[in-house]
Amino acid sequence: MIGLDKAGVRRGPRWIFSDVSFRLETGRILAVLGPNGRGKTTLIKALAGLVPLSAGRRIAPPVIGYVSQSIGADIPYRALDVVVMGRALGLGLFGAPGATDYRAAHAALELVGARDFAERPFDRLSGGERQIVLLARALATGSPALVLDEPASALDLANQDRLLRVLKDVKRQGRHAILFSTHLPQHALSVSDEALLMLSASEHAIGPTTTALNEGDLTRLYGLAVRRVTLDLDGSAPIDTVVPLFAGAAP
């Protein structure tokens, strides 16, 4: 389990967010949505233990599997070594990774479908491949909680789909509570069980994704008209998605 209880972070007199409460159980995914500057990254970092809370409390295991927005393309190591870095907290100040750590890293790469990346230089991987490797690093920590800050923000459509599929696969294992932030309601509808909408610093909406991502709250959230639509595809189950009504798209 991971969560926040009446939590907030303040910088000087200004609250970045306040009075946020939720608990995410193992085997479930929560998506955090909000416009730029609304505090998503601060909330993610506070949940990961990287930013101190000004109010409330954090509910979390001792170690968090954390993936930041920065992909770190210039890391000159094998992908396997990057994943092993996720074991650092258990090694001590002068410890070196051993066979157990490398087995955990290989298992994490296997879980995210990236076994073939192990010997490849991390800085030679594509953006999507690097993000999958960083997810494997988070898994290699052994933490039951994964916290991802806009993991698909720099990815093309195919790699966004790949990442979402991996998150679904990890969820099916039933061993992790997964929280990620996103600008794309479509991603939340695709994989998450619950959604947290950061409507303002002090106002939030949280609930099952299918009801939380309603047209009214999404329009308030982004200041842009949004429509929920269902696509009926031949031979497949209907897909629920979100369509923003951009002014520039009008004739």
Residue 91 belongs to some domain of the structure: yes
When pLDDT is cut at 50, 70 and 90, the band that residue 212 belongs to is very high
pLDDT tens sequence across 36-86: 989 999 999 999 999 999 999 999 999 999 998 766 667 788 999 999 988
- What pLDDT does 69 receive? 79
Q: What percent of the chain clears pLDDT 70, i.e. is strictly above it?
A: 94
When pLDDT is cut at 50, 70 and 90, the band that residue 240 belongs to is confident
Residue 251 belongs to some domain of the structure: no
**Is residue 94 predicted with pLDDT exceeding 60?**
no
Nearest CA to 1 out of 39, 58, 45 is that of 58
Q: Are 23 and 41 in contact (CB under 8 A)?
A: no
Residue 60 belongs to some domain of the structure: yes
Residue 75 belongs to some domain of the structure: yes
Backbone angles phi, psi at 232, to 5 degrees: -95, 115
Q: How far is the C-alpha of 135 from the C-alpha of 105, rounded, in Å?
A: 11
When pLDDT is cut at 50, 70 and 90, the band that residue 97 belongs to is confident
Q: What is the CATH number of the domain that holds 99?
A: 3.40.50.300
Of 12-26, 36-50, 118-132, which gets the smallest average pLDDT?
118-132
Residue 235 belongs to some domain of the structure: no
When pLDDT is cut at 50, 70 and 90, the band that residue 95 belongs to is low
What domain range includes position 85?
2-207
Which residue intervals of the chain are DSSP H helices?
40-47, 79-84, 99-111, 127-140, 157-173, 185-191, 209-212, 215-222
Residue 61 belongs to some domain of the structure: yes
Residue 191 belongs to some domain of the structure: yes
- What pLDDT does 108 receive? 92
Q: How far is the C-alpha of 151 from the C-alpha of 164, rounded, in Å?
A: 10
Domains of the chain: total: 1
Residue 18 belongs to some domain of the structure: yes
**Is residue 242 predicted with pLDDT exceeding 80?**
yes
